[in-house]
Amino acid sequence: MISSRLPLTRDLVLVGGGHTHALVLRMWGMKPLPGVRLTLINPGPTAPYSGMLPGFVAGHYEREALDIDLVQLARFAGARLVLGAAEAIDPLTKTITVPGRAEIAYDVASIDVGITSAIPALAGFADHAVPAKPLGAFAAAWEAFLGSDGPARVAVIGGGVAGVELVLAMAHALRRHGRFQQATLIDSHRALSALGAVSQARLRAALFDHGVTLMEEAPIAEVHAGGLTLADGREVASDFTVGAAGARAYGWLAESGLDHHHGALLVSPRLQTSNPYVFACGDCAHMGFAPRPKAGVYAVRQAPVLYHNLKALLSGGALKDYQPQKDYLKLISMGGTSALADRNGRSFSGPLLWRWKDHIDQKFMRKFAALPVMAPPPLPRHRAEGMVEALGDKPMCGGCGSKVGRTSLRQGIRSYSGARRADVTPLPGDDAAQLLTGGAMQVISTDHLRTFTEDPVTMTRITAQHALNDIWAMGATPQAATVTLILPKQSPTLQERLLAEIMETAHQEMKSAGAAIVGGHTSLGEELTIGFTLTGLCERAPVTLGGARAGDHLLLTKPIGSGTVMAAEMSGQARGRWVAKALDLMCQSQRRAAEVLGPAAHAMTDVTGFGLLGHLQGICEASGLGAELRFDAIPKMRGAPELAEVGVRSSIFADNAALLPGIGTAGARALLFDPQTSGGLLAAVAPDQSEILLNRLRSQGYRAAEIGVMTGAGEGIVIR
């Protein structure tokens, strides 16, 4: 049988989610190059668009309007998204360093990490000022400051176009909030020198109209908590100081061994650096063949050339040259809904130009907000009956969302009755047992997950914690682990790279849990699947699903909703921030939670594929009791309730809900049946211990909650 998936043979790594790379990802999603494994490395799940930053600062746009959602974009492009900040590239070994994980290898790389406007040489800047770039950190700081109370004084360092736009926007926003007291723009030379005389005059008039004090030829000696001290001894009061003076490349670029110009990577007309397998674009690149100021227009127009050249280098084609325009239209925000246009010495201003600028910016952002839906290939005209029903109406989820439903699983297990041994005791559930080996008491468990994120390191971390949770839930200490991998068809080089990332991560996760990896097994298949079989040692009898007592309080150590969030991510409905937070929670170890709950729990389980109610039902059945839950007390992942309200459901949701047909599944209550991957621990504890245990859990960093109580036999499960 021939695989429907073509093997991967080359690694293309994009470092940074800047404007050029964002456009390249969109183009790649429309027309990818078969055989290429595409990776995007970025510190966070979103990338802010610089063109709309002044509008956000002024209050014309909501914060989220600035962001290109890289999670959705990576899904569309078929790329794996690595959430982390690159801190080194080695062109000799062709590797990129991201802290906390194995080195990422590439065949071809491109760098688009932007710049920083931090001023490290200025005393006090790092402690008392905010650089305007990177934009994401600045936007968050401004949003927090604007939301505070009282009269406000602000100062902007740097009298270029960016500094003028920011100070006008800040003054406008503070006046709208009734907080304006003082705004100052400071430049060590003459402000707005890059513009023509007419544009300069109009912007200086706008500064005056907004009450902004302009201080030119005014070098700064120090930034402090209350403002700034100028070199001539004058003091400028400021509660919020911003650095917008010039643009500086990140230091690790100059340390790469690649040719650079004042830290920015020097590129040829083909956008290649001094190493032909490394490209650079946007503000972190310097076009030595045609020097230009840092401006987003060049980054945007580099995208088609970069897209073509990356594909050409990976497939043996001919590369193209990029020819930057000599000048470009500058649309400059003027605080309110007015803008200035400047090009070739001509200048215009007014509300009409603001509407034009807003139209251009919104059009650019719509490219990423409404990604084309790529239709799946049609089914064969002649096919066996039942194929449509078997496929279902949504893509198959990964993680625990791809498991067999509980009804089918139970029936399959019950249909097999293996020979019993006196030293082997199956535990309540379907994947664990107690073993007696000499005088030692062990437990054994196994878990395997179909991948739902293209980043193998994140997937390995989640799978490891998911498997370890079974051991923690039984009150045991992890001992030994074997790894089972199904790898997608790839070239030997890419297989070696993938194995290195997975095994280094697995070793780190198991070592931190106290377990040793003793071996494993690999095979090839359609997609990546990771599994662990674990043993653990018990100092006392394992904690099981049985043993809960009427009146026990139910404690949950982690929010629910991962199945819903990840199902929405597959369909492009989840916001990147929600997905990133869900992945972080799934990577969270339950080790310390088990140390808190293990000695006190009468019954305990980890919440996984059968959902919160399915696993609670397991405790009720094994303990012969009922339960009452308070829905509002159950912690939920960010975005999960909103997604559940609009009908997002994971693959096995219907199977889970069928186990308790009397409980409603409308709206957010559907989360009760949502399959969890690497979910929290659910423990039944004595009422007088509940608050003590809950406080200890929260002190260890868990979003733990007391969500209900065990009730008498025959009372069933009730949701309040």
Q: Residue 370: CB partners within 8 Å, gap ≥ 6?
A: none
In angstroms, the CA 511 to CA 515 distance is 5
Same fold, 10-114+249-328 and 421-542: no
Pairing of strands 240-243, 130-131: parallel
Q: Which helix (H) or strand (E) holds 414?
A: helix 406-414
DSSP, collapsed to helix, strand or coil, labels residue 450 as strand
Nearest in space to 516 (alpha carbons), one of 537, 530, 500, 541:
537
Inter-residue contact 553 to 483 (CB < 8 Å)? no
- What confidence tens digit (pLDDT) does each residue in 403-417 have? 555 555 455 445 444
The predicted model gives 519-539 an average pLDDT of 92
| CATH number of 544-720, picked from 3.40.1740.10, 3.40.50.300, 3.40.50.360, 3.90.650.10 | 3.90.650.10
Q: Within its chain, how far is the Cα of 656 from the centroid?
A: 28
Mean pLDDT score of the chain: 91
Taking 3-state DSSP, the helix, strand and coil percentages for the chain, each rounded to the nearest 5, stand at 35, 25, 40
Phi, psi of 205 (to 5 degrees): -65, -40
Residue 239 DSSP class: S
pLDDT at residue 402 greater than cutoff 80: no
Quick one: three-class SS letters along 300-318?
HHHHHHHHHHHHHHHHCCC
pLDDT at residue 484 greater than cutoff 80: yes
pLDDT at residue 247 greater than cutoff 80: no
Residue 225 DSSP class: T
Q: Given strand 516-525, what is the order of strands in its sheet?
A: 424-426, 432-437, 440-450, 529-538, 477-488, 516-525
Higher confidence at residue 399 or residue 136?
A: 136
Say how many C-beta atoms besides its own lie within 10 A of residue 346's C-beta: 11
pLDDT above 70 coverage of the chain, percent = 93
Q: Within its chain, how far is the Cα of 205 from the centroid?
A: 43
The domain defined by 125-243 carries CATH number 1.10.8.420:
no
pLDDT value for 390: 67
The domain defined by 421-542 carries CATH number 3.40.50.300:
no
Inter-residue contact 41 to 82 (CB < 8 Å)? yes
- What confidence tens digit (pLDDT) does each residue in 172-213 have? 999 999 999 999 999 999 999 889 999 999 999 999 999 999
As separate numbers, helices (DSSP H) first and strands (DSSP E) second, the chain gives 21, 36
The predicted model gives 56-79 an average pLDDT of 94
pLDDT value for 3: 42
Q: Give yes or no: 400 in active site.
A: yes
DSSP, collapsed to helix, strand or coil, labels residue 404 as coil
pLDDT value for 685: 97
pLDDT value for 700: 96
How is the chain split into domains, by residue range?
10-114+249-328, 125-243, 421-542, 544-720
Beta-bridge partners for 265: 260, 285
- What confidence tens digit (pLDDT) does each residue in 622-673 have? 999 999 999 999 999 999 999 999 999 988 898 888 888 878 788 999 999 9
List helix spans (H) across 291-395.
296-315, 351-369, 387-391
In angstroms, the CA 561 to CA 282 distance is 38
Q: Given strand 130-131, what is the order of strands in its sheet?
A: 130-131, 240-243, 152-157, 180-186, 212-215
Set 281, 284, 397, 400: catalytic member: 400
| CATH number of 10-114+249-328, picked from 3.50.50.60, 3.40.50.720, 1.10.3720.10, 1.10.645.10 | 3.50.50.60
